[in-house]
Amino acid sequence: MTASIAIKDAGGLVVELIEAINANRGWLSEIDGAIGDGDHGINMSKGFTAAGAKLGDPLPSLPDALNTLSETLIEDLGGSMGPLYGYLFSSMADELEGQERLDAEVFAKMMHAAFEGVKEIGSADVGDKTLLDALYPATEAFDEAWRSGKDFAESLDTMSAAAEKGRDATVDMVAKVGRASRLGERSRGVLDAGATSCCLILQTLAKGIKQRMQG
Amino acid sequence: MTASIAIKDAGGLVVELIEAINANRGWLSEIDGAIGDGDHGINMSKGFTAAGAKLGDPLPSLPDALNTLSETLIEDLGGSMGPLYGYLFSSMADELEGQERLDAEVFAKMMHAAFEGVKEIGSADVGDKTLLDALYPATEAFDEAWRSGKDFAESLDTMSAAAEKGRDATVDMVAKVGRASRLGERSRGVLDAGATSCCLILQTLAKGIKQRMQG
Amino acid sequence: MNRIFNNPDFVVEDAVRGYLKAHPDILAATENARVLRRPLAPQKDKVGIVTGGGSGHEPAFLGYVGDGMVDAVAVGEIFSSPSAKAFHDAFVAADGGRGVACLYGNYAGDNMNVKLAVKQAAKHDLTVKTVVANDDVPSAPKDEIKKRRGVAGEILMWKVGGARADEGADLDEVIASAQKAIDATRSIGIGLSPCTIPAVGKPNFSIEDGHMEVGIGHHGEPGVAVMPIKPANEIADLMLDHILPDLPFEKDDDVALLVSGLGATPIMELYILYDRLAEVLQARGMNTRHLFIGNYFTSLEMQGVTLTMMRLDSELDRLLSAPARSLGLTRI
Amino acid sequence: MNRIFNNPDFVVEDAVRGYLKAHPDILAATENARVLRRPLAPQKDKVGIVTGGGSGHEPAFLGYVGDGMVDAVAVGEIFSSPSAKAFHDAFVAADGGRGVACLYGNYAGDNMNVKLAVKQAAKHDLTVKTVVANDDVPSAPKDEIKKRRGVAGEILMWKVGGARADEGADLDEVIASAQKAIDATRSIGIGLSPCTIPAVGKPNFSIEDGHMEVGIGHHGEPGVAVMPIKPANEIADLMLDHILPDLPFEKDDDVALLVSGLGATPIMELYILYDRLAEVLQARGMNTRHLFIGNYFTSLEMQGVTLTMMRLDSELDRLLSAPARSLGLTRI
Ligand SMILES: Nc1ncnc2c1ncn2[C@@H]1O[C@H](COP(=O)(O)OP(=O)(O)O)[C@@H](O)[C@H]1O
Ligand SMILES: Nc1ncnc2c1ncn2[C@@H]1O[C@H](COP(=O)(O)OP(=O)(O)O)[C@@H](O)[C@H]1O
Ligand SMILES: [Mg+2]
Ligand SMILES: [Mg+2]
Ligand SMILES: [Mg+2]
Ligand SMILES: [Mg+2]
């Protein structure tokens, strides 16, 4: 197992993201329905599917695929997800610029950039019951695992677990931004939809990277 | 038991009609709901209640009370019931003109006049699944009972039974007029709302007249 | 039932009061609380236009009172004909000395009450002539066309009659134009959900979820078929299949089109439907000269849609183009 | 779900196509399928007025494109902000050389997308200034007024901004008038039933039968209280109790009033409500100078109603009176 993957062959990661989102379309909307307006899965699926149609064959490099996804979300999707995930993926792509291989160092930077990008455009804080609450603990967990000597694959596993824990922790949070925030205390007790899709995305990335490292 | 009642003391019959209609408001609407628009009880109750408010105290004579009811239905109620029952009651009242007592002879004329009045304004035929299908057999049955030697009270009982039989026979009819007629064959299998209210009215009249004969 | 009213038996009274307070420039009261008129009615030397019908169809009927439209309206209970007296008093309110055209819809109650009212008016030398709308194709076969219900086609009939009266036409001419208008008009309704009369408190009929009723009436009168809901484009085709051959509408016809929601259908869905209607009519070589899309003739909170088409000659075209100003329809 | 559409994922596309076919005199296409404009836009030397928002609120937002109103609109998915690109392209479609006023509602998605679009426009030297409507009183307490949602008050803001632009005002003046308009406006919504986004296929929230949700948002955002439905008069009082003290509206104020159904509320019920609103406002010595009752800002087939009030000064009064012509609002 190598500890990195070739960026130019990894555009398929974005295809896997699209598949994961489409497979969970109904579930994501259902979660959003509890305290939001019930369209999160639809929004995500529409945006990701549209991006998929633009990826082309053969697949572009990972940064190009991520930028296509980002641009499609920002330009065509709208909603909150367009800007938020649009910035998330373009921020990730920016960190791949000039790189040939995606290793743990680069991935750590991608995660930090993603977190900063979403935070900037959305002006939400960690703890506000948003996708940041999956993204932030995942970012921190990856950093710490890697720094503490785990290898890339192990660090990805640690990150996946942290994203899931972060996602689940949103159950106990009160929403401070977005539609759900108007619910106040009534927003407690259920998952946040954005944190759920974010966790799904991070886990799909992690799984895809690991598979490519084995291959 | 006398075989007639004093017309000038019998305005209370109209009060009893109003009470009977109000007590069956929900049921009449429910029947209308099966093949009509579900408002027959409401319509009747509104019109009859409005008439009740105009009867005054002491109660007027029977023809005056019937005319008040008729005018209220025609002037204020509208719908189909305004003209149809308006004509029914004014036709009855017309036959009381110049009379002091209501006996079987007069009652027979009232029934015939009522039937002709409704038939004229509504242009429906017996068998069309309308209130005529309670009114017509009741009229005929009263005539026959009286002619065959039954007394007024017995003839009223015969009429009540015939009204009920007529009402129930509408279950097997296909509506030819009114809203239900658009259903064609699908209008078969349930009671007609107008026949039901008409039966109720005739039975209430019969009961009230009999009580007054005993009193 | 989640609705806004006070006493369910007085929804009409309460609503009429609200209309009068809201639009004193368009609607005026009369001595009969169930009769409203244009502030300018009766207008001397103009044939008066009267209509009337049950409530719950707003903006019909009172919303079509206005300049170039209806002079006075008789207001009935929800889904129930106005009384004979209300029609009669509307005739009086509309009569400017040249008689009154009563343009109404073909329902048993309305027929009876109008008949009584016309008789009553005749006793006072007020001449009233009537046109009864029967544009609803699925409500009876063509050989029993006189039995058909009147639906949203009435609006176009009022527009034509009102404009003709404004031109100074006499009563017979107004009646002839209104009759021509309705004779050239065909409608069909599709029902998707029932509605609830507040005083009844439960739906007036039922449609199985995922189903639609083709040819439904404005009070939920049953249609000609119940079937699983089809995509919008097929619904449009189905509606056209019912009404185009009935008149028939043909290539090169100039037409007026009215697509009305039944109350609870989102407006965007009317436009989704229209997108297809326009496509088909264009493909068939018809020319849509007048178009109305919106909630023109409703049935409380029923979901569904009606399609109305009128074939135009130059007179009908001219009369539909004439200025009008009412709550439901304005032409500048 | 008994509704009219083809592919549930393309209801917006299909409806926009229908609108364009139906109203070529009022709405014109642009290169971006999600941006519509007045046929006259961009109008040279007039400040451009842009808005945008999620679909499903028809006639908002595209129905307020028109003379004296909005020049270009960005159209989003159902209940979802238009994309940054759509807003940007709407700015371009509206810009007649004196800059663009983007007047929109306070929702997270709209805020983000407008922010990105404004940045993008600045790169091409197109000056865009924004006013964000926050008229929905129950959506946040007064000390967090900037967090409040924008609802039907937006319509009055567009009317004011559009009229001011028509007067030849510069961008800062238009922005100032629109800001003044929304600052003087307060709204509240009452929800009676949920609605269903076709692509979701089930209601977006639920309200127990016989209950109402006070302060509900235009997408079903929860309100401040759920309680058994009250009679119309008490609903009117409750709504006024929320908004009158908030501005506050006071004796001798001139006001504009907008009562909008949420989609499936029968029009007659809006008038039943208005009957009481008028009574209370008159009793409190307020003077209703502009009145709008109807389905002005809807939420698909939701049942319920919103009340919007604006306190007028002479400028706002003048701008509301100015002529306008759009599908949703016309002033002659
Ligand atoms: N400002 C924000 N920053 C980060 N995430 C946000 C923000 N606002 C909303 N979200 C996320 O968006 C999710 C809802 O997304 P979605 O349902 O697609 O959009 P909408 O709320 O417009 O319907 C929420 O669950 C939340 O995680
Ligand atoms: N032309 C007619 N002649 C006699 N009865 C009629 C006629 N039309 C309708 N009816 C009666 O009216 C009843 C319906 O009354 P109602 O529900 O109050 O009026 P509507 O049909 O206007 O809602 C029917 O059940 C039928 O008996
Ligand atoms: Mg959502
Ligand atoms: Mg009935
Ligand atoms: Mg009825
Ligand atoms: Mg949404």
| Structure confidence by residue, pLDDT tens digits, C4-32 | 999 998 999 999 999 999 999 999 999 99
Strand C254-261 with C287-294, pairing: parallel
How many helices (H) and strands (E) are present in chain C, helices listed first? 8, 15
What confidence category does residue B15 fall into, taking pLDDT thresholds of 50, 70 and 90? very high
Res A33 pLDDT > 90:
no
Check: CB of residue C70 under 8 Å from CB of residue C64.
Answer: yes
User: Mean pLDDT across the stretch D18-46?
Assistant: 97
Structural domains of chain A, ranges and CATH numbers in brackets:
5-214 (1.25.40.340)
d(CA D151, CA D306): 9
Using a CB–CB cutoff of 8 Å, tell me whether A78 touches chain D.
yes
Please report the atom of ligand 2 found closest to the CA of residue C80: 22
Active site amino acids of C: 57, 219
In which residue are the tokens 């506000």 written? A128
Tally C-beta pairs within 8 A across B and C.
Answer: 99
Residue A185 pLDDT: 87
Contact D21, D41 (CB under 8 A): no
CB contact at 8 A, D178 and D101: yes
State the best of C75, C202, C271, C306 to mutate against chain D, taking most chain D CBs within 10 Å: C271
Angle, in degrees to the nearest 10, between helices A193-214 and A40-55: 40
Stretch A13-22: mean pLDDT:
98
**Counting atoms of ligand 1 from 1, which one is nearest the CA of A123?**
1
By the CB < 8 Å criterion, does D104 face chain A?
no
Q: Do C80 and B79 touch (CB under 8 A)?
A: yes
- Is the pLDDT confidence value at A208 over 60? yes
Per-residue confidence (pLDDT) for residue B215, from 0 to 100: 62
Q: What are phi and psi of C105, to 5 degrees?
A: -105, 155
Q: Is D185 helix (H, G, I), strand (E, B) or coil?
A: strand
As a three-state string, the secondary structure of B88-146 is HHHHHHHHHCCCCEEEHHHHHHHHHHHHHHHHHHHCCCCCCCCCHHHHHHHHHHHHHHH
Number of H helices, E strands in chain B: 9, 2
Q: Ligand 1 in contact with A119 (CB < 6 A)?
A: no
| Range with lowest mean pLDDT among A22-31, B176-185, D129-138 | B176-185
> Chain C: residue nearest D56 by CA?
C268
The residues that bridge with C309 in the sheet, in sequence order, are C186, C257
- B56-96 pLDDT, tens per residue? 999 999 999 999 999 999 988 899 999 999 999 999 999 99
Phi/psi-derived region of residue D142, left when phi > 0, alpha when psi is between -120 and 50, beta in every other case? alpha
Give pLDDT tens digits for C152-199.
Answer: 999 999 999 999 999 999 999 999 999 999 999 999 999 999 999 998
D78 CB neighbours in chain A (<8 A) are 39
Report pLDDT digits (tens) over C270-317.
999 999 999 999 999 999 999 999 999 999 999 999 999 999 999 999
Whether omega before D59 lies within 30 degrees of 0, making that bond cis, reads: yes
Residue A1 pLDDT exceeds 50: no
Confidence check: pLDDT of C133 > 70: yes
Mean pLDDT for A67-73 is 96
Q: Which domains does chain C have, with CATH numbers?
A: 8-184 (3.40.50.10440), 185-320 (3.30.1180.20)
Whether pTM exceeds 0.95:
no
- What digits encode the pLDDT tens for the residues C249-264? 999 999 999 999 999 9
Question: Is D219 designated active site?
Answer: yes
Question: Could you tell me if D277 and D259 are in contact, meaning their C-beta atoms sit under 8 angstroms apart?
Answer: yes
Q: Do A122 and D77 touch (CB under 8 A)?
A: no
Residue listed under structure tokens 């935070």:
A119
> What separation in Å is there between the alpha carbon of D182 and the centre of ligand 1?
26
Helix (H) or strand (E) holding C16: helix C11-22
Do the beta carbons of residue D116 and residue D84 sit within 8 Å?
yes
Query: Is A80 in contact with D112 (Cβ distance < 8 A)?
Result: yes
CB-CB under 8 Å, B76 with C85: yes
C110 CB-side CA count, 13 A: 29
Mean pLDDT over each residue of chain C, to the nearest integer:
96
Mean pLDDT across C200-206: 83
Residue indicated by tokens 């979660």: A31
Stated as kind and residue range, the H or E segment containing B6 is strand B4-6
pLDDT beyond 60 at B1: no
Where do the DSSP E strands lie in D196-239?
211-214, 225-228
CA atoms of C208 and D213, how far apart (whole Å): 28
Ligand nearest to the CA of B118: 2
Tens digits of residue pLDDT in A91-138: 999 999 999 999 999 999 999 999 999 999 998 999 999 999 999 999
User: Is D222's CB within 8 Å of A42's CB?
Assistant: no
Span D49-79, pLDDT tens digits: 999 999 999 999 999 999 999 999 999 999 9
C113 CA: distance to closest CA in chain B (Å): 7
**pLDDT at C221 (0 to 100):** 85
**Helices D267-283 and D232-243, packing angle to 10 deg:** 60
CB of C150 within 8 Å of a chain B CB? The answer is no
Strand pairing report for C330-331 and B4-6: unpaired
Residue in the structure block whose two tokens are 């639906």: C151
pLDDT over threshold 50, residue A160: yes
C interface mutation test: which of D1, D4, D9 has the most C CBs within 10 A?
D4
State the pLDDT at residue A2.
60
Per DSSP, what are the bridge partners of residue A43?
none
Indicate the SS3 state at residue D293.
Answer: strand
Taking CA–CA distances from D300, the nearest residue in chain C reads: C266
The C-alpha angle C172, C177, C181, rounded to 5 degrees, equals 145
Q: How many A from CA of D236 to the centre of ligand 5?
A: 29
Using 50, 70 and 90 to split pLDDT, how confident is the model at A215?
low
